[in-house]
Amino acid sequence: MTNEVVIRSFTAPDGAEIKYVDEGQGVPFLFIYGMGSSVTSQDLFIKFMREHCRMIVFDQRGYGFTKAQGEIGVHQSARDAKALMEYLGIDKYILMGYSMGAAVVFSYVQQFGTGNLIKVLTGDMSPKLINEGDWKLGLYQGHYTREMYEEDLNIIKNDYERYALYLTEQLLYKHNPEDPREPYNSKEEIKARIESGEHNPLIRDALYNGMVYISDEQIGCMTDYWITMASADFREVLKKIDVPTAIIYANPGSGYQPATAEFMASQIPDAILCPADGCTHMLAAEKNDLYKKYITDFCGF
């Protein structure tokens, strides 16, 4: 096996060309990354996992090597995931999604059920981002309201960089649900707060490159992903995940809170909780060894 991963392609049912990697041997493991990521950014994880399983990752539309084509959003990513596995002739596989990738997993189960799934893993995500009514377990640890979502849609259209910088800040710093959130100031003020705070600069720069300083085409794609993810309510889907499930989450977290993971575990019939203590939403980088151990132990690799 060469050290470098091989980029392959297949044609989705709607004609879009989807780029993917298929590395290693053994149990098929399909990984769906989060917003602003790519196959390239997952290179080290892919190389680790291919030593334990058949590791499959695809670039979602508008990310990495896959061009922005056709419908874009978490529901289409779920359809692309199913189409890829059918193209590869794989009938049974483990499915994992991290952050937005977990929303893709929820949509996959909503659309296709669990008939092809051996196990499921989710990483630091909520089944419903907008907090309203009695629901307080969504984004920003219960602080993200529908009014904020509507405001975000306007900001995304008129000053995307400001929106993305604020999202980056909220994901970088540990919070508890009762903590106040920083105000939605100008992008200059938000960036100054980010760069003056205590955090891992490599993680910060990865968020900058993946979510903030991107092309106009990528901004359009990010908008579509955000709308389809934030407007979804997957709470009822959780009860339909009837295969063994691991819920990996950050404690105290930043984007989400431990209580969200606990709620998910109460709804999924056969779920275990996998906490990463002292972490933000970026737990896969902050506690990488623990993250990989949770995955390989749960999967039996």
pLDDT in tens, 225-245: 999 999 999 999 999 999 999
pTM attached to this predicted model: 0.97
Q: Which among 84, 79, 131, 85 is positioned nearest to 105, based on CA atoms?
A: 79
Q: Would you state the pLDDT for residue 255?
A: 97
CATH code for the structural domain at 8-127+233-299: 3.40.50.1820
Q: Would you state the pLDDT for residue 126?
A: 98
Dihedral angle computed from the Cα positions of residues 208, 183, 160 and 69, in that order, rounded to the nearest 10 degrees: 80
What is the arithmetic mean of pLDDT over 271-282? 98
Q: Would you state the pLDDT for residue 1?
A: 45
Burial level of 240, CB count in 10 A (0-12/13-18/19+)?
A: middle
Burial level of 96, CB count in 10 A (0-12/13-18/19+)?
A: buried
- What residues does each domain of the chain span? 8-127+233-299, 139-229
What is the arithmetic mean of pLDDT over 24-28? 98
Amino acid letter for position 253: G
Q: Would you state the pLDDT for residue 2?
A: 56
Pairing of strands 28-32, 54-58: parallel
